[in-house]
Amino acid sequence: MGTDCLFCRIVAGEIPATVVRETPTTLAFRDIDPKAPVHVLVVPKEHYADVATLSQSDPTLAGEVLATAAAVAEDEGLLGDGFRLMFNTGAHGGQEVFHVHAHVLGGAPLGPMLARSLG
């Protein structure tokens, strides 16, 4: 993917980020605008637009993203009290950056799953 993708540019080191974990295929870095005491984004280094595309194209890599997210949760001390792992996807999912990323959120009770309920 070209340099117009924000997270490809972070992977390439062209835009600074606070990296907390790196594997040969994934990168984890702190969200610039954290929504919880711990808010880390986990991306595959290879560009896929969203979690559906990634999982259908390369399930092994999708698993590596999950494994990195779990390692981040452990490093951040979240395994005891729990955490939330989230992939916003597409317009209704509120996705803003179209390079797939898992949000690892925790460090405090996170409230209901969604901001509002149906109906």
Q: Tokens 């990296």 appear where?
A: 19
Nearest CB to ligand 5GP, comparing residues 50 and 58 = 50
Amino acid identity, residue 29?
Answer: F
Q: Tokens 């452990």 appear where?
A: 74
Amino acid identity, residue 1?
Answer: M
Nearest CB to ligand 5GP, comparing residues 96 and 119 = 96
DSSP category for residue 67? H
Task: Identify whether 101 is a catalytic site residue.
Answer: yes
Nearest approach, Cβ of residue 42 and ligand 5GP (Å): 12
Cα separation of 33 and 66, whole Å?
Answer: 22
For residue 4, state whether it binds ligand 5GP (rule: CB under 6 A).
no
Q: Quick one: tokens of 11?
A: 């992977």
Cα separation of 86 and 105, whole Å?
Answer: 8
Listed ranges 27-35, 46-54, 66-74, 84-92: which one lies at the site for Zn ion (CB under 5 A): 46-54
For residue 97, state whether it binds Zn ion (rule: CB under 5 A).
no
H/E segment holding residue 35: none
Nearest approach, Cβ of residue 50 and Zn ion (Å): 11
Binding to ligand 5GP by CB under 6 A, coded x per residue (else -) over 72-101, reads ----------------x-----xxxx----
Kindly list the catalytic residues.
101
